[in-house]
Chain A
Amino acid sequence: QKEVEQNSGPLSVPEGAIASLNCTYSDRGSQSFFWYRQYSGKSPELIMFIYSNGDKEDGRFTAQLNKASQYVSLLIRDSQPSDSATYLCAVGSGNQFYFGTGTSLTVIP
């Protein structure tokens, strides 16, 4: 499989802080980039997708893509305890999706 790398964490942030999640990918031809959130025992749910270089904001979430550096990140502002979950980075390449191993985030009240 083509590589998608994430820091497995765990990442702990206090409530109200900014959580920063990072992801790098190996295939320069990758076209689409996604962030999913997965609670324990549940399926992943889509949070954000981004196709172009730059930032994309949706509420408290901001996805950042830098294709030259093969890097995509997710910022969560004003982190809440309910944001505690595993965050999966996914990269679309050709007709495939490849997932990173996920970063476990804990938001401390």
Chain B
Amino acid sequence: GAVVSQHPSWVICKSGTSVKIECRSLDFQATTMFWYRQFPKQSLMLMATSNEGSKATYEQGVEKDKFLINHASLTLSTLTVTSAHPEDSSFYICSASQEGSGSEAFFGQGTRLTVV
């Protein structure tokens, strides 16, 4: 399958600071990238969908000013958690797809964020 690389794999930050997570498709052009959050023992929750060159579409209840998503190229999307707080501690996972729902999504390895 295609390779999606997510960086960093884990990060610890102080409350009030911002953290940027990168998601790269290494061997294909990702028309669409998805960002998920997963709390322990819970399922993936879609946060937002981003298409290259356009603004991300956020799911209901997700603060777009807090979770900034940039999809500047067909191989890179970033998620910035601004002014992070302990309740933002979670496992953040990106996935990328070449043609939206017509093809499968490939996942990055995830980023475990801990805010102290």
Contact = CB atoms under 8 A, between A and B. Distances in A.
Contacts, number: 64
Interface residues of A, number: 25
Contact of B42 (A41, A95, A101): A101
Given A32-B102, A43-B110, A97 B95 contact: yes
Interface residues of B, number: 28
A43 B43 contact: no
Contact of A43 (B59, B93, B101, B102): B93
- Is chain A's interface secondary structure helix, strand, loop, or mixed overall? strand
A8 to B, nearest CB: 9
Contact of B100 (A36, A92, A100): A92
Interface stretch (A44-52, A53-61, A67-75, A77-85): A44-52
Nearest to A100: B43
Nearest to B93: A43
B74 to A, nearest CB: 15
A45 to B, nearest CB: 7
A88 B104 CA distance: 14
A93 B101 contact: yes
Nearest to B100: A95
Nearest to A97: B105
Given A42-B109, A43-B107, A102 B43 contact: yes
Nearest to A30: B101
A46 B104 contact: yes
Contacts of B43: 88, 99-102
A43 B109 contact: yes
Contacts of B102: 31-32, 92
Contact of B101 (A88, A95, A100, A102): A95
Interface of B: 1, 32, 34, 36, 42-44, 46, 49, 51, 59-60, 91, 93, 95, 97, 100-110, 112
15 contacts: A31-B101, A31-B102, A42-B110, A43-B93, A43-B110, A44-B93, A88-B44, A94-B101, A95-B32, A95-B49, A96-B34, A97-B46, A97-B95, A101-B42, A101-B43
